[in-house]
Amino acid sequence: MPEGPEIRRAADNIHRAIAGNIACDVFFAFDHLKPFEAELVGSTVVAVKPYGKAMVTYFDSGWAVYSHNQLYGKWVTCKPNATTLTGRQLRFAVHTPRRWALLYSASEIEVLTAEAVPSHPYIVKLGPDTLDVNLTPDRVAERTLSQPFHRRQFATLLLDQSFLGGIGNYLRTEILYVAGIHPSQRPIDCSAVQIAAFAKAALALPQQSYRHSGITNDLALAAQLKQTGYRRREYRHWAFGRLGQPCHRCGDTITKITIGGRRCYVCPSCQPVNR
């Protein structure tokens, strides 16, 4: 599933492609949304904004289209009539004279008024966005140790969008690895040093991933590994997806555990269960 950095990059691309342009055609695949096609044609796209793992396309007519990529959704932008063959199903499209924005495979699409966006059931529950440059590690640390969250395992806490918005499975693994925290630990179990490391990593890694196309590993190390012939999936992350490979820090073997119903990758030496 695309996580916060991927959704924000997609929103940036779509905004650049169609914002400020008139929608000369709009398509919805779902019958209950078909009546809105005529409502949106002729209106101008004013903004495309990310909300955690969701995205909202705003029109000057006062309507907004909420979409969530879920596991398989994918946005594509192209010149008019320049679409490529794909096995995916088109679910939502905005055609402007300049560019087209096409959403494939996603099933969670809604049309609502712009005023209703903040109270959407997904958006209203979102915690602070880890890509918000005004969010500080001190605020993250304070939130982590607060009553609603301090007794929950990090493994499940980090996938709860009401805690911090935009974090998914790969960021969960990477943040905990960099902080030296085992996924089964709870904030209340951690030292002040660990909480400070977690709060710093919870912001630094998503923001680095956004700026550097998904790379969460040390940038210098990633560049070195790339130059020596490593494939992207081998140099992109510190631990995620690296089962059986040596830890970049200590050389121990990366293991995989299933916790919170999802896979998580761990270095047994850098992230001992009881520290």
Indicate which residues carry an active-site annotation: 2-3, 53, 262
Alpha-carbon gap, residue 15 to 96, rounded angstroms: 12
**If we measure between CA atoms, which residue out of 144, 137, 130 comes closest to residue 53?**
130
Q: Where are the alpha helices (DSSP H) in the chain?
A: 4-18, 35-40, 137-144, 154-157, 169-179, 192-211, 219-227, 232-235
Pairing of strands 100-104, 25-28: unpaired
Can you count the helices (H) and strands (E) in the chain? Answer: 8, 10
Q: 30 with 105: CB under 8 angstroms?
A: no
Q: Which of 160, 174, 238 is nearest to 206 (CA)?
A: 174
Strand pairing class (255-259; 262-266): antiparallel
Q: Tokens 């059986």 map to which residue?
A: 244
Do 36 and 111 form a contact (C-beta atoms < 8 A)? yes
- Which residues, 6 or more positions from 133, have their beta carbon under 8 angstroms from its beta carbon? 207
What are the contacts of 267-273 at 24+ separation with CB within 8 A? 267/177, 267/239, 270/177, 270/180, 271/176, 271/177, 271/180, 271/181, 271/182, 271/183, 272/182, 273/182, 273/184, 273/185
